[in-house]
Amino acid sequence: MVARATRKLAAAELFERSLDMVARIGTEGYFVMVNHVRMGPEFIQSSYSVEWQTEYDLNAYHLRDPSFLWGLTNNGSRRWSEITLPDASGVMKRARRHGLIFGAVFSCGMQSKKSVLCVARDDRELSDEEMAALASWFDDYVKACTTKLAFSEKELAVLQCLANDMTVERAAAHLNISASAAKARLKTARDRFGVKTNTRIVAMALRSHLIA
């Protein structure tokens, strides 16, 4: 019952509720990419240092990073030290200069739609318990991201207006309803998924491709 209830959480809510746990294990940062397809990922976020992210992007290390390449071609989890893919370009050596010495990668999905999580530490390998905790959380998170959220057409109409940078009052006028009615629709949607702000509920609808 607990796992089933967890999967019903909105993906954004589940992600933010777990950030402390992810950051506690990945003390030097994390990288998460969800549902990567040919057009790009549905969601991507990194807490690695700006210097490393900049170097990584400018040099297109994702084409040569053994940990990332392992994640794209496998499902499951591995500590970086357990990955046997060659590192001819020395990406992992460069990562260590930024404190990314120990780490792990978690991956799930089909090759045409992959989700990958990487975390890093500077002091020790991840324990078996930490590996299991991150693997379980990542599995639940990806499932939450791939579950279409249920919004009514009226709620989506207001959310689309907000996504178009309208205020609630402008959205109400555009839809020919009262401002109180628009606010009520937003509150119902927020309460359904345990989200506190309109920004969050709009982001959830966008991420689920229910509005554009």
| CATH tag, 153-207 | 1.10.10.10
Q: Please check whether the two domains, 2-146 and 153-207, share a CATH topology.
A: no
User: How much is the pTM?
Assistant: 0.66
Mean pLDDT by 10 residues, the chain (212 residues): 36 74 95 83 88 96 96 96 96 97 95 91 97 93 70 89 95 95 92 83 81 84
- Domains in the chain: boundaries: 2-146, 153-207
List pLDDT tens digits, range 178-194: 999 999 999 988 887 77
**CATH H-level superfamily of 2-146:** Transcription factor LuxR-like, autoinducer-binding domain (3.30.450.80)
SS (H, E, C) 118-187: EEEECCCCCCHHHHHHHHHHHHHHHHHHHCCCCCCHHHHHHHHHHHCCCCHHHHHHHHCCCHHHHHHHHH
* pLDDT at 12 (0 to 100): 63
- Per the CB < 8 A criterion, the answer to whether 197 and 161 are in contact is no
